[in-house]
Structure 1
Amino acid sequence: MDNVIRRRTPGARLARAVLYTVLILAVLFYLMPLVVMLFTSIKPLEEIRAGSLLAIPLDPTFAPWAKAWGEACTGMRCEGVSVYFFNSIAIVVPAVLISTTIGALNGYALTKWRFKGSELVFALMLFGCFIPFQVVLLPMAQTLGWLGLSSSRAGLVLVHVIFGIAFTTLFFRNFYVSVPSELVSAAKLDGAGFFRIFWRILLPVSKPIIVVSVIWQFTQIWNDFLFGVAFSAHDTQPVTVALNNLVNTSTGVKEYNVDMAAAMIAALPTLVVYVLAGKYFVRGLTAGSVKG
C-alpha cells in the first residue's frame, strides 16, 4: 500500500501544480482590467499618452483621484463624484435594510404561517423577479409623481425596495423551508405570537441568508444606472450616473486618468463588500439548499 501511495504522489503533485497554474492564470486574466484601471488612474496624462496601458507608472500621482473625488456639480458641468457617492450611500442603506426586513417577514409567513393562497402569492412575487425593468419605467414614474417623490432620493429608495422584495422573499423563503416546523409549532403551543417566534427562533438562525440578501441588494442598488438616470434629479443622482456624466464630459482634453480614478472610486464599495463577505455569500446560498 505504501508503494502504491508513493507511486501516485508525483502524479498527484503534478496535477495539483497544473491546477494551481491554471487558477493563477485565470485570476491574472480577470484582474487585468482592474490593474489597467489602477495603473491609469495614478499616471500623469503625459505618461498615458506616451506609454502603454500595462506599463507601470514611472511618476505615480494621486492628483487624478483628488480631481475625480472633487466637489459637487454646478450647472451641467460635473467636477467630481463625491456628493453623488454619498447620495448612493443614502439610497443603498435604507433600501437594503427595508427590503431585507420585509423579505425576511415574507419568507417567514410563507413557510411557517401558511394561509390560503400563500403559494399563489409566492408565485406572483417570484414572477416579479422576471419583469424587465424597462417595462415599468413609465408606470413607476407616474406612481412616484402621484406620491410626490419624483426626482428624490426617497423615490429611488422606494423603487429599489419594491424590486428588491421579490428577490429577498425568494431567498428567505427557500432558507426557512429548511428550518424544522416543529420549533414553530412548539413555540405556538407555549403562547408565542407571530413576531416573537420570528425574533426568538427564526432571526437568530438567519445570519447566512441575511448576508446573502444584503450583499445581493447592496450590489444591485449600488451598480444601478437605469433607475438612477430615470428617477433622479441633478442633485439626487447616484454615483453611477455621476460617473457617466464625468466620463462623457470633456473640456477639450480627455483626462483618462481622472475617468479611471472615478471608476475605481465608484467600484470600491462593492469590491470591499465582496472581499470581506464573499465567503459568507457562498455559504449563505447553500445553507438552505438541503432540508434537514
Structure 2
Amino acid sequence: MTQDRFWRGLVYAALVFAALYYLIPLYVMLTTSVKDMEEIRTGNLLSFPQNIGFAAWDKAWSSACTGVSCDGLSGYFLNSVKMVIPAVLISTCLGAINGYVLSKWRFAGSNIIFAMILFGVFMPFQVLLLPMAQTLGWLGIASTTTGLVFVHVVCGLASTTLFFRNYYVGIPDELIKAARLDGAGFWRIFWRIIVPMSTPIIMVTLIWQFTNIWNDFLFGVVFSAGDSQPITVGLNNMANTSTNVKEYNVDMAAALIAALPTIAVYVFCGKYFVKGLSAGAVKG
C-alpha cells in the first residue's frame, strides 16, 4: 500500500509539474497584460505585477493600431463571431445528415463517396487556396464574411461527416428498420430517433469546429479584406504594426482577447468533448 501511494504521488507530482510548465506562457501573457510599460521595462518577466491595471486591455479592444486603422480588435472580434456561428452550425448540420445517410441509408457507391469525403480530412489546405479563390470569385462573395463562412463549411465538411458517420455506425440498424416498418420516413427517423441520440457527437463536433474556425489564420488572411477580416488577422496586424514604442502589454492583452472564446469553450464544455469522444466519436 505504501509503495502504491508513492507511485501515485509521483504520478500526481509529474502531472502538476507538466501543467505548471505548460501554463507558464499563459501566466506571462496575463501578468504582462496588466502591467504598465515602466514595470515591464524594469521588472522581471515572471514577476507578479505590483500595480494591476487594465488600460492595456481597453486599448487593445478599442484604440490599438492595426495597420493604418486605430480602432482596436473589437471590429475583428465581431467579424469572427459573425463568421464562426453560421459556419459551425451549417457544417455540423450537413455533417450529421451526411453521416446519417452514409451509415443508415447505404446505396450503391456510398463507401466510395465516403472515401472521397474522407480524403478531404488529409488534404493540405494550401492546395485549396487557388481553386477556392476562383470559386469565391465566380460566386461573387470574395473578400466577404459570407465567403469565409462558405470556405469553412466546405473545408470542415469532411471532418464533421467522419465524426457523425462513425458515431452513427454504432446505432443499431434495427431501430431504423423498426421505424421504417411503422411508416416513418427519412427525415422523421432523423429528427425523432437519430438526433436525440446524437448529443455527445454534436458537442464534439461543435467544439472541434468552433476551435478550428476561430483560430484559423490561413483562410482569414487569404480570403478576407478590409471590414471582413477575422480576429486572428487583426491580431497579426496589431503585432506587426510599427510604432515608436513596442507596447508588449497591449499585444499580450490582444492575444488573450483573441484566445478567450476558445479557452471558455474548453473550460465549460471540455467534459462534454471527452464524453463525446469516449462515446464513439472516433470509433472506426
- Which amino acid is 1:176 matched to? Y
- Which amino acid is 2:93 matched to? T
Select which of 211, 225, 233 maps to 2:225: 233
Higher Rg: 1
What are the Cα deviations for residues 76-130 of structure 1, in whole angstroms up to 9, with x where unaligned? 2343101110100100000000000000000000010000000000000000111
Matched, 1:125 2:153: no
Please, which moves more after superposition, 239-248 or 280-289? 280-289
- CA gap 1:290/1:68 in 2 versus in 1, 3 angstroms: closer
Q: 8 Å contact 2:66–2:241 — kept in the other structure?
A: no
Residue equivalent to 1:188:
180
- CA gap 1:231/1:73 in 2 versus in 1, 3 angstroms: farther
Q: 8 Å contact 2:66–2:237 — kept in the other structure?
A: no
What are the Cα deviations for residues 196-251 of structure 1, in whole angstroms up to 9, with x where unaligned? 00001110010000001000000000000000000111111000000000011122
- CA gap 1:260/1:289 in 2 versus in 1, 3 angstroms: closer
Q: 8 Å contact 1:78–1:246 — kept in the other structure?
A: no
Residue equivalent to 1:260:
252
Matched, 1:106 2:98: yes
- CA gap 1:15/1:189 in 2 versus in 1, 3 angstroms: same
Residue equivalent to 2:277:
285
Select which of 52, 55, 67 maps to 1:63: 55
Deviation at 1:274, TM superposition (A): 0.4
Per the normalisation by structure 2, the TM-score is: 0.97
Select which of 66, 82, 85 maps to 1:90: 82
Matched, 1:10 2:19: no
Q: 8 Å contact 1:77–1:249 — kept in the other structure?
A: no
- Which amino acid is 1:224 matched to? D
SS of corresponding position for 1:33: helix
Q: Distance in 2 between matches of 1:71 and 1:83?
A: 11
Poorly superposed stretches of 4+, deviation over 6 Å: 72-75
- CA gap 1:258/1:73 in 2 versus in 1, 3 angstroms: closer
Unaligned runs of 5+ in 1: 1-8
What are the Cα deviations for residues 52-83 of structure 1, in whole angstroms up to 9, with x where unaligned? 11000011110000000015978723431011
- CA gap 1:161/1:17 in 2 versus in 1, 3 angstroms: same
Root-mean-square deviation (CA, aligned residues, Å) is 1.5
Q: 8 Å contact 2:167–2:282 — kept in the other structure?
A: no
- CA gap 1:111/1:168 in 2 versus in 1, 3 angstroms: same
Select which of 135, 146, 150 maps to 2:142: 150
Matched, 1:28 2:10: no
- CA gap 1:238/1:289 in 2 versus in 1, 3 angstroms: closer
- CA gap 1:281/1:125 in 2 versus in 1, 3 angstroms: same
Residue equivalent to 1:169:
161
Deviation at 1:279, TM superposition (A): 1.4
Give identity over the alignment, percent.
Answer: 65
Please, which moves more after superposition, 55-64 or 72-81? 72-81
Per the normalisation by structure 1, the TM-score is: 0.94
Deviation at 1:136, TM superposition (A): 1.0
Count of aligned pairs between the two proteins? 283
Matched, 1:202 2:180: no
SS of corresponding position for 2:79: helix
Unaligned runs of 5+ in 2: none
Q: 8 Å contact 2:117–2:158 — kept in the other structure?
A: yes
Q: 8 Å contact 1:72–1:83 — kept in the other structure?
A: no
Q: 8 Å contact 1:156–1:228 — kept in the other structure?
A: yes
